[in-house]
A and B are shown apart, each in its own frame.
Chain A
Amino acid sequence: MSKKESILRPKGRVKGGARLPHNKTTAEAKTVVIDPPEKVVISMSQHIGAPCQPTVKAGDQVFVGTVIGDSESFISAPIHASVSGVVSEITKIRLPAGNMVDAVVIESDGKMQLDPDIKPITVNTAEELVKAVRDSGLVGLGGAGFPAHVKLTTSPDKPIDTLIINGAECEPYITADYREIMENPDDVLDGVYLIKKLLNIENVIIAVEDNKPKAIKILYEIAADKRDTDDKVKLMKLKSRYPQGAEKVIIYSATKRKLPLGKLPSDVGCIVMNITSVAFISRYLRKGIPLVKKRITVDGNAITEPKNLLVPIGTPISHVLELCKADDPQKVMMGGPMMGITVYDTSLPILKQNNAILAFKGKAAESKPQTDCIRCGRCMRACPMNLTPAPVEGALKNTNVDELNALNVMHCMECGSCAFACPAGRPLTAAMRLAKNEVRKAGK
């Protein structure tokens, strides 16, 4: 990237979305590494795909980075101990999504001793990279938690010409990716160049929302000094309009290609990776420490001291809330306020793909008062996928699957823009989610 080269503008703009309050109060809050909690509870399901089976038993001694869960399935990622200590039990926990999963409980010895097998890793081919990324336990750190090695597995019949690095971070409050860019910009770019080289991808577009000018500047300056002879790594400034970071939206912004329903980014020649994921890959290769810690933004109106914390995976949410002096929170969620999942119990653990813990109280913990739909059409205008959310509620009530299909509910990506826009306070995104379930059940 030459310095003269200007920063790219989006090639296309997806209509709709929502103008949200940014509330990025923790943007300048440097990441604080927390002391290990007394015990961690590590879920065996921390990604989309098959859950892992525990590979340790009660009484086993583990170190930071010891594999404690794995699966034979391709779409899964191994899980590692995040503290050193002794496995006290294998238990079952109910995740906020409602599913019961195995969890490994480790009593920490407070020493955070690294597993003796950990060493730097050298990769020279795409296959070695994919294997290393799987071993690292990396899942998409943007929130969805798709195993990263699956994304990086390419096939010759689906050539990839563009690697999109997602640094949009379009949800309010969250600054975890922003802090990654500000604190480890070299890791980000090392990761970018490594993937570009090994996967032989021609173009790279690093997309960041324009509400992060400092992040854009720092990436720009470092990239200018890096070894990019053919000038194919570009920065792109996205308009700060939710949901810029959604996969289909960011692909359209970067390439003007539309990702059809049920297709993967590789079908349109793209790989989309979260910016923290990319930085993690370069760190993993350098040090060999798998994904055992995660930076999370702790914020919300029930948090007295908002912070960015680097926490061992499996740390109870309540521990994090205490560290940030939560004041009587009534609603706590993993992730941002648009797509995050509320937790029913704060003793639940932090997962790999969490990027924020938000706690609210008072009015912010309540929902908007409901009236009947006034058919204003705001939900339709807000939908980035051009859907018509309002009638879905009625069709869902009657379990009319044909009607739900006619309303194209399967295209919904559950971004929440419709419910955000609704003046009548209708739970439209929830209706969409249930509607998709009905359609799946009907098998049509």
Chain B
Amino acid sequence: MQKMNVTSSPHISGPDNTTGIMLDVIIALLPATICGICFFGFNALLTVAVSVASAVLSEYLWCKAIKKQTSLLDLSAVVTGLLLGLNLPPTLPLWMAALGSAIAIVVVKQMFGGIGHNFANPAITARIALMVSFPTAMTTYIVPFTDNVVSSATPLGGGDFALSKLFFGIHPGTIGETSSLLLLAGGVYLVIRRVITPELPLAFMASAAGLAWALGDDPVKTLFTGGLMLGSIFMATDYVTSPPTRLGKIIFGVGCGLITVVIRHFGNIPEGVSFAILLMNILTPHITRLTAKKPFGTEGEQK
């Protein structure tokens, strides 16, 4: 009798795998990353590199410390480090970037159980932690192609910039958030690769632009300034912290867009994207439950 490999059906699996999905996100972020490095110079490269390295190292050390099988191969730590790096100003002291990544990986992700178990987006939460800890360093930007430091004359802070400059990203900001064009291209890539669906970013952008228009702000500027593109395409769409249902994604996106504009318009901090996403992260389980579909054949029934 020849012993056979016995498994439970199905015995074939689809082409998607966790590492591949993470790799696609990294590929989609690369154009905006390279662009940011070109605009803001060597410091930007260092900041991103330190963020990524610190995220990977934190993940490795933590898993080692609690004797958990390391999950480095799934590349999720690289994505978190990269996203955080792109959310930092290019002049930030490098140790702050390293600290941010460690917070993202250890406190926000691993302490809740690692990949798939965190309730808030690690990169966003770490950015907020850095912002409230080091408010000056986190809002010190430079003008592209120069070393001229500005400490609030970003488009969000009230500076005046031509639309084309905003679209191509030639304005002060964090490393990865300025080039709307390349971020959108990355988003299109993710949609084509079926890594994300477009509902959430579109709902985010449409609701933000709509409310800005209603409040008398410039809706186009609302879309192309600050972290709105980076946030709506790459951070709000994080699988773990956004609802999986289509309707849920739309509700989540609309919520993010409205909160962003409310903070920008009425708040005393210039940027609202991070807080908006974090707040909606907290609501995700409820949105998911409320938008769950009924099983086939019971749609009309009352529960």
Identify the A interface with B (CB < 8 A).
Answer: 14, 18, 20-21, 96, 172, 248, 258-261, 318, 329-333, 337-347, 360, 364-369, 371-378, 380-381, 384-388, 408, 411, 414, 416, 419-425, 427, 429-430, 433
Is B11 a contact partner of A333 (Cβ separation < 8 A)?
Answer: yes
Q: Is the interface of B mostly helix, strand, loop or mixed?
A: loop
Tell which of A258, A332, A338, A423 has the most Cβ of chain B within 10 Å.
A423
Are the C-beta atoms of B116 and A372 separated by less than 8 Å? yes
The answer to whether A369 and B295 touch across the interface, beta carbons within 8 angstroms, is: no
A261, chain B: closest CB distance, angstroms: 6
Q: How many Å lie between the Cα of A385 and that of B17 in the bound state?
A: 23
Q: For the complex, what is the distance from the CA of A420 to the CA of B7, rounded to whole Å?
A: 14
Q: How many CB-defined contacts (below 8 Å) exist between A and B?
A: 150
Q: How far is the CA of A204 from the CA of B16 in the complex (A)?
A: 39
Q: Are A372 and B8 in contact (CB under 8 A)?
A: no
Query: How far, in whole Å, are A1 and B216 apart by their CA atoms in the complex?
Result: 66
Choose one: B2, B18, B245, B294; the contact of A374 (CB below 8 Å).
B18
Instruction: Give B43-75 as 1s and 0s: 1 = Cβ < 8 Å from A's Cβ atoms.
Output: 000000000000000000000000000010010
**A-B contact sample (7 more), CB < 8 A, given A260-B297, A340-B11, A380-B293:** A96-B6, A330-B5, A343-B6, A346-B4, A364-B12, A374-B115, A380-B244
Q: Which chain B residues border A365 with CB–CB below 8 Å?
A: 5
B interface residues (Cβ-Cβ under 8 A, vs A): 1-14, 16-18, 20-21, 71, 74, 76, 113-117, 239-240, 244-245, 292-299
Least distance between A407 CB and chain B CB atoms (Å): 9
Which one of B17, B292, B297 lies within 8 Å of A423 (CB-CB)?
A: B17
Q: Do the beta carbons of A261 and B297 come within 8 Å of each other? A: yes
Q: Which of B4, B9, B13, B115 touches A343 (beta carbons < 8 Å)?
A: B4
* A213 smallest CB distance to B (angstroms): 24
Q: Given A388-B292, A411-B296, are A375 and B239 also a contact pair (CB < 8 Å)?
A: yes
Asked if B14 contacts A342 (CB within 8 A), the reply is: no
Task: Return A143 CB to nearest CB of chain B, in Å.
Answer: 11
Task: Assess the B240–A374 pair: CB atoms within 8 A.
Answer: yes
Which of A345, A371, A376, A408 has a CB less than 8 Å from the CB of B295?
Answer: A408
**Is A248 within 8 A of B296, CB to CB?**
yes
Query: Which residues in A have their C-beta under 8 angstroms from that of B245?
Result: 377, 380
Which of B10, B21, B298 has the most chain A CB within a 10 Å cutoff? B10
- Please name 24 pairs of A and B residues whose Cβ atoms are closer than 8 Å in the assembled complex, sorted by A: A20-B12, A260-B298, A261-B298, A331-B4, A331-B11, A337-B11, A338-B9, A338-B12, A342-B4, A342-B5, A343-B6, A344-B6, A345-B2, A346-B4, A372-B71, A374-B21, A375-B239, A385-B295, A416-B9, A420-B13, A420-B14, A421-B16, A424-B17, A429-B10
Write the nearest CB–CB distance from B285 to chain A, whole angstroms. Answer: 11
Q: Of A261, A340, A369, A423, which is within 8 A of B9 by CB?
A: A340
Instruction: Report the bound CA distance from A420 to B239 in whole Å.
Output: 18
Whether B5 contacts A423 by the Cβ 8 Å rule is no
A10 to chain B, nearest CB (A): 15
Residues on B with beta carbons closer than 8 Å to the beta carbon of A331: 4-7, 11
Contact of B4 with A424 in the complex, beta carbons under 8 Å: no
Provide the residues of chain A in CB contact with B3, threshold 8 Å.
344-345
Q: How far is the CB of B5 from chain A (nearest CB, A)?
A: 4
Majority DSSP secondary structure for residues of A touching B: loop
* Pick from A259, A318, A408, A420: contact of B12, CB under 8 Å: A420
Contact assessment for B244 and A375 in the assembled complex, using a CB-CB cutoff below 8 Å: yes
In contact, A386 and B239 (Cβ under 8 angstroms) = no
Distance to closest chain A CB from B296 (angstroms)? 4
- Cβ of B244 and Cβ of A377 under 8 Å apart? yes
A76 to B115, CA, bound (A): 49
* A258 touching B1, Cβ below 8 Å: no
Given the complex of chains A and B, what is the CA–CA distance between A329 and B6 in angstroms? 12
B-chain residues with CB within 8 Å of residue A367 when the two chains form the complex = 7, 13
Query: Known contacts A331-B4, A346-B2; is A421 also within 8 Å of B9 by CB?
Result: no
* Nearest B residue (CB) for A390: B244
Q: Given the complex, which residues of A lie within 8 Å of B5, measured CB to CB?
A: 330-331, 342, 365-366
Tell me the bound Cα distance from A346 to B8 in angstroms: 17
Contact A345 B14, CB 8 Å, known A248-B297, A433-B8:
no
Instruction: Return the 5 tightest CB-CB contacts between A and B, nearest first.
Output: A377-B244, A416-B10, A430-B8, A423-B16, A386-B293
**A260, A342, A422: the one within 8 Å of B6 (CB):** A342
Contact of A376 (CB < 8 Å), options: B21, B71, B114, B292: B21
Checking B2, B116, B244, B296 against A386 with a beta-carbon cut-off of 8 angstroms, the contacting residue is B296
Considering the complex, give the chain A residue whose CB is closest to the CB of B296: A385
Assess the A14–B239 pair: CB atoms within 8 A.
no
Q: How far is the CA of A367 from the CA of B4 in the complex (A)?
A: 14
Given known A373-B116, A375-B116, A423-B21, contact A339–B10 (CB-CB < 8 A): yes
Q: Which chain B residues border A372 with CB–CB below 8 Å?
A: 71, 113-117
| B residues in contact with A347, CB < 8 Å | 1
* Contact status of A421 and B295, CB under 8 A, knowing A342-B5, A374-B115, A374-B116: no
Q: Which of A260, A371, A425 contacts B13 (CB 8 A)?
A: A425
Give min CB distance, B252 to chain A, whole Å: 12
B97 to chain A, nearest CB (A): 25
Cβ of A371 and Cβ of B74 under 8 Å apart? yes
Known contacts A376-B239, A377-B244, A423-B16; decide if A332 and B4 are in contact (CB<8 Å). yes
CA gap between A18 and B16 in the complex, in Å: 12
- Closest chain-B Cβ to A211's Cβ sits at a distance in Å of 17
Contacts of A380 in B (CB 8 A): 244-245, 293
- Chain A residue nearest to B293 (CB atoms) is A386
Contacts of B18 in A (CB 8 A): 371, 374, 423-424
A414 smallest CB distance to B (angstroms)? 7
A258 touches B2 (CB 8 A): no
Q: Which residues of A contact B20 (CB under 8 A)?
A: 423
Q: How far is the CA of A425 from the CA of B71 in the complex (A)?
A: 14
Chain B min CB distance to A270 (Å): 14
Q: Nearest chain-A residue to B239 (Cβ)? A: A376
Cα–Cα distance between A215 and B44 once the two chains are bound (Å): 62
Residues of B within 8 A of A416 (CB): 9-10
Q: Is the CB of B295 within 8 A of A338?
A: no
Beta-carbon nearest neighbor of A413 in chain B: B296
A424 and B117 CA atoms in complex are apart in Å by 14
Q: Which residue of A lies closest to B22 (CB)?
A: A374
| Contact status B10-A345, CB under 8 Å | no
Bound-state Cα–Cα, A372 to B36, Å: 33
